[in-house]
Amino acid sequence: MTPAAPFDRVAESLLAFWAEAGIDAMLLDEPLDRIEAGKFVAPKPVDKKPPPPPPAGQVRAGPGGDIAAAVIEARRLAAEAKDLEALKAAIAGFDGCPLKFEGARQSVFCRGAADAPLMVIGEGPGAEEDARGEPFVGRAGQLLDKMLGAAGLKDRVFITNTVFWRPPGNRTPSPQEQATCLPFLERAIELVSPKMLLLVGAPSAKSMLKREEGILSLRGRWFEWRSEAGNLELPAMPTLHPAFLLRQPGAKKKAWSDLLTLTERLDRPDRGA
């Protein structure tokens, strides 16, 4: 007879994957008669009223909205932010990213040292981050902190994401959503003035570097990141996302190798190539 242990491990791995995806319940709070629920009920007529316009000076880019106008507004607000606190407030008040209206509790901007030599850029907030208002504070963030600490980088990083609101169901943010948030991210890079960027996960690496390769191809390699306006340029290294490492522990050695390579270059006196 085949032992039960392998099945148990598969089930445990599947449950961990669901938990990481934000699924925390499998039962409804109340019983549901699905036969009754499936019966057709004629909808009641609804007096449809057009949604109120956004406040003056704000642009809302919901589904099908004007992304170009939202990006212009984000650039204006970002440029007006003279420090990180002002930038955080500008992000919180920005209505141009559709994610803000798709169930997110609050904006999630950053944590870490305001003058850090290394900026870590992830994908977007998850459930724990959405609840607490800080990036990388869930299981994946705890693993990231352990790895940064082991590499001597724990107090030398500024951590943020490509988008500042949690995508529904922890899905990957769309290029349009990342584009509306990019002016704020670039302003953060300008204010922190890091020496290097660590791009965590495929969505971050592809968005920042404008490349289409998979993360296993991009990771561990040096690239030159350049801002949209061309006035900022920094060395950037993509690496594996800690959420992936939780599902594939065998890949941790690759991410660890990336961190060691980055740390060596960060601490090199001339920081040359």
- Whether residue 71 is contained in a domain is answered as yes
User: What CATH number did the domain enclosing 222 receive?
Assistant: 3.40.470.10
- Give domain status of residue 53, yes or no: no
What is the pTM for the complete model shown? Answer: 0.77
Domain membership of residue 272 (yes or no) is no
In a domain, 78, yes or no: yes
The answer as to whether 196 is a domain residue is yes
Assigned domain for 130 exists = yes
Q: Which domain range does residue 187 map to?
A: 58-266
> Tens-digit pLDDT profile for the chain (273 aa)?
445 455 566 566 666 665 665 555 555 555 555 555 444 444 455 444 544 544 444 555 544 458 999 999 999 999 999 999 999 999 999 999 999 999 999 999 999 999 999 999 999 999 999 999 999 999 999 999 999 999 999 999 999 999 999 999 999 999 999 999 999 999 999 999 999 999 999 999 999 999 999 999 999 999 999 999 999 999 999 999 999 999 999 999 999 999 999 999 999 876 544
Does residue 73 form part of some domain?
yes
Count the domains in the chain.
1
3-state SS, one letter per residue, for the chain: CCCCHHHHHHHHHHHHHHHHCCCCCCCCCCCCCHHHHCCCCCCCCCCCCCCCCCCCCCCCCCCCCCHHHHHHHHHHHHHHCCCHHHHHHHHHHCCCCHHHHCCCCCCCCCEECCCCCEEEEECCCCHHHHHHCCCCCCHHHHHHHHHHHHCCCCCCEEEEECCCCCCHHHCCCCHHHHHHHHHHHHHHHHHHCCCEEEEECHHHHHHHHCCCCCHHHHCCCCEEEECCCCCCEEEEEEECCHHHHHHCHHHHHHHHHHHHHHHHHHCCCCCCC
Quick check: is 33 in a domain? no
